[in-house]
């Protein structure tokens, strides 16, 4: 019997090792430890990718017993804890099951207002009985849970307040409050949601970095990509000196001897937009005068250029453009008169506004008939002197 003890001990150790390794670190495909399934969720903030990988326990784990109401403060202990396993004597919760939960950032971000470099981090959570809870980001992300946790590896702590949440069976990560330059990541389980905000305050600079790299590759052989890059800068009023170069490349020769640009209403209009964003209004107007003589200066593109002028409060300039459009398309009875009607209305010329609204209303195309009530309301207000 005594001879069997070492063999049994070895077998027990091997069985424990197989259970502890679970699916990810096992040399063969095995069910995850505790059947806590592996999960991953990702969210883009513009060009920035954020991914969280974790194992997801459920409320009916541990032999099927219902653990609802027994997660926070019991299964997940408050404060740092020591369960007598592993090197560390004070560890936070691993914010999941099995291997360390990780978060990967493709670019530098801010978490709860604090800088965090691009990379992969272990994600831990320190729950508290009262007061804020704390997210902990660690350089050590390759371990098993938080048994190898060491505070010297911490790179960021973020204090947040937990919120009451709908009953959630499976521990789940997700993202909400998605904006162009930020999102909120959250963990939700049982009756609690614990979130942290991720921001990319320089998101347009990140876009620019990606655009520059892409234009040096295959994308740079298409003049339209240079045009789109210039349009992006003009719309956001950033990087305008370089944007003017990009606009010129779209018109002329993006890659010398390899591909040609296109001098048309659209590309020259993009150059004008960059000039306008630079505050060079006279140069922009001169450039647009040239654009109006080029291919592509058709009914609708010219109409929408006039609309941009109206939106910018440049009513007299818009009137010039809409009169030009009407002279160029005398047979057209809706768009040209609509442009003039809106411009005369903005200028306070009621007589000409009423005349042009009435003509436009007699020729509304099928795909615009839903706007007739709005047009009629404007016309009625003009007739009533409002």
Within this chain, do residues 338 and 375 fall inside the same structural domain, yes or no? yes
Within this chain, do residues 319 and 291 fall inside the same structural domain, yes or no? no
Boundary-marking domain end, from 157, 172, 199: 199
Within this chain, do residues 186 and 210 fall inside the same structural domain, yes or no? no
Q: Per residue in 247-301, pLDDT tens? A: 999 999 888 788 899 999 999 999 999 999 999 999 999 999 999 999 999 999 9
Q: pLDDT-derived band of residue 237, with 50, 70 and 90 as boundaries?
A: very high
CA proximity to 215, closest of 238, 180, 242: 242
Residue 21 pLDDT: 45
Instruction: Report if residue 269 sits inside a domain.
Output: yes
Residue 162 pLDDT: 97
Mean pLDDT for all residues in the chain: 91
Residue 62 pLDDT: 66
Q: pLDDT-derived band of residue 32, with 50, 70 and 90 as boundaries?
A: confident
Within this chain, do residues 194 and 241 fall inside the same structural domain, yes or no? no
Within this chain, do residues 120 and 250 fall inside the same structural domain, yes or no? no
User: Does 352 score more than 80 pLDDT?
Assistant: yes
3-state SS track over 7-35: HHHHHHHHHHHHHHHCCCCCCCCCCCHHH
* Mean pLDDT within 317-346: 97
Within this chain, do residues 174 and 112 fall inside the same structural domain, yes or no? yes
Instruction: Compare 246 and 24 and report the one with higher pLDDT.
Output: 246
Give the alpha-carbon dihedral of 105, 111, 113, 114, to 10 degrees: -80
Boundary-marking domain end, from 269, 297, 325: 297
Residue 1 pLDDT: 37
CA distance 132 to 194: 10
Instruction: Compare 256 and 333 and report the one with higher pLDDT.
Output: 333
* Mean pLDDT within 113-118: 98
Instruction: Report if residue 24 sits inside a domain.
Output: no
Q: pLDDT-derived band of residue 346, with 50, 70 and 90 as boundaries?
A: very high
Within this chain, do residues 126 and 228 fall inside the same structural domain, yes or no? no
Instruction: Report if residue 129 sits inside a domain.
Output: yes
Instruction: Report if residue 338 sits inside a domain.
Output: yes
Annotate 22-90 with DSSP letters as a single string.
Answer: TTTS-SS--PPGGG-EEEEEEEEETTEEEEEEEEE-BTTTTTT---TT-TBTTTB-SSSB--S-SS-SS
Q: Per residue in 4-29, pLDDT tens? A: 333 233 333 333 343 444 445 556 87
Within this chain, do residues 183 and 212 fall inside the same structural domain, yes or no? no
Residue 18 pLDDT: 39
Boundary-marking domain end, from 145, 172, 199: 199
Query: Which residues span the domain enclosing 194?
Result: 32-199
Instruction: Compare 324 and 10 and report the one with higher pLDDT.
Output: 324
Q: Please state the domain count of the chain.
A: 3
Within this chain, do residues 46 and 170 fall inside the same structural domain, yes or no? yes
Backbone angles phi, psi at 346, to 5 degrees: -65, -35
Instruction: Report if residue 328 sits inside a domain.
Output: yes
User: Does 34 score more than 90 pLDDT?
Assistant: no
Within this chain, do residues 190 and 216 fall inside the same structural domain, yes or no? no
Q: What percent of the chain is modeled with pLDDT above 70?
A: 93
Q: pLDDT-derived band of residue 46, with 50, 70 and 90 as boundaries?
A: very high
Q: Give the predicted TM-score (pTM) of the model.
A: 0.80
Instruction: Report if residue 21 sits inside a domain.
Output: no
Residue 130: count other Cβ atoms within 10 Å of its Cβ. 5
Within this chain, do residues 249 and 385 fall inside the same structural domain, yes or no? no
Instruction: Report if residue 288 sits inside a domain.
Output: yes
Residue 26 pLDDT: 57
* Mean pLDDT within 134-146: 92
Instruction: Report if residue 137 sits inside a domain.
Output: yes
User: Does 81 score more than 70 pLDDT?
Assistant: yes
- Per DSSP, helices labelled H in the chain are 4-21, 203-215, 223-236, 240-251, 265-277, 281-291, 299-311, 315-328, 335-347, 350-361, 372-383
* Mean pLDDT within 205-227: 96
As beta bridge partners, residue 342 has none
Within this chain, do residues 219 and 71 fall inside the same structural domain, yes or no? no
* Mean pLDDT within 206-219: 95
């Amino acid at each position: 019997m005594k001879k069997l003890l070492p063999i049994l001990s070895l077998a027990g150790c091997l069985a424990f090792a197989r259970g502890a390794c679970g699916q990810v670190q096992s040399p063969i495909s095995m069910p995850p430890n505790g059947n806590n399934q592996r999960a991953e969720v990702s969210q883009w903030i513009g060009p920035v990718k954020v991914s969280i990988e974790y194992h997801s326990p459920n409320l009916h784990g541990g032999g099927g017993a219902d653990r609802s109401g027994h997660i926070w403060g019991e299964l997940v202990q408050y404060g740092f804890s020591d369960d007598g396993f592993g090197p560390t004597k004070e560890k936070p919760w691993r914010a999941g099951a099995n291997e360390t939960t990780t978060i990967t950032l493709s670019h530098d971000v801010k978490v709860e207002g604090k800088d965090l470099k691009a990379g992969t981090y272990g994600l831990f959570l320190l729950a508290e009985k009262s007061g804020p809870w704390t997210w902990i980001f660690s350089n050590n992300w390759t371990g098993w849970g938080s048994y190898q946790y060491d505070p010297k590896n911490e790179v960021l702590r973020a204090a947040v307040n937990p919120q009451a949440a709908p009953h959630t069976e499976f521990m789940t990560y997700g993202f909400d409050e998605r904006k162009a330059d930020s999102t909120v990541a959250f963990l939700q389980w049982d009756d609690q949601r614990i979130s942290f905000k991720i921001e990319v305050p320089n998101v347009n600079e990140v876009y620019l970095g990606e655009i520059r790299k892409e234009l040096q590759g295959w994308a740079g052989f298409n003049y339209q990509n240079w045009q789109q890059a210039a349009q992006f800068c003009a719309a956001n009023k950033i990087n305008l000196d370089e944007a003017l170069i990009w606009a010129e490349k779209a018109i002329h020769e993006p890659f010398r001897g390899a591909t040609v640009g296109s001098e048309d209403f659209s590309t020259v209009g993009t150059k004008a937009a960059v000039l306008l964003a630079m505050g060079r209004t006279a140069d922009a107007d001169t450039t647009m005068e040239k654009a109006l003589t080029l291919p592509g200066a058709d009914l609708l593109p010219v109409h929408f250029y006039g609309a941009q002028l109206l939106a910018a409060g440049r009513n007299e300039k818009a009137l010039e453009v809409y009169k030009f459009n009407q002279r160029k398309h005398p047979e057209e009875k809706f768009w040209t008169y609509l442009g003039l009607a809106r411009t005369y209305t903005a200028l306070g010329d009621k007589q000409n506004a009423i005349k042009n609204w009435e003509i436009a209303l007699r020729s509304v195309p099928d795909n615009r008939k839903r706007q007739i009530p709005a047009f009629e309301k404007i016309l009625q207000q003009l007739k009533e002197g409002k």
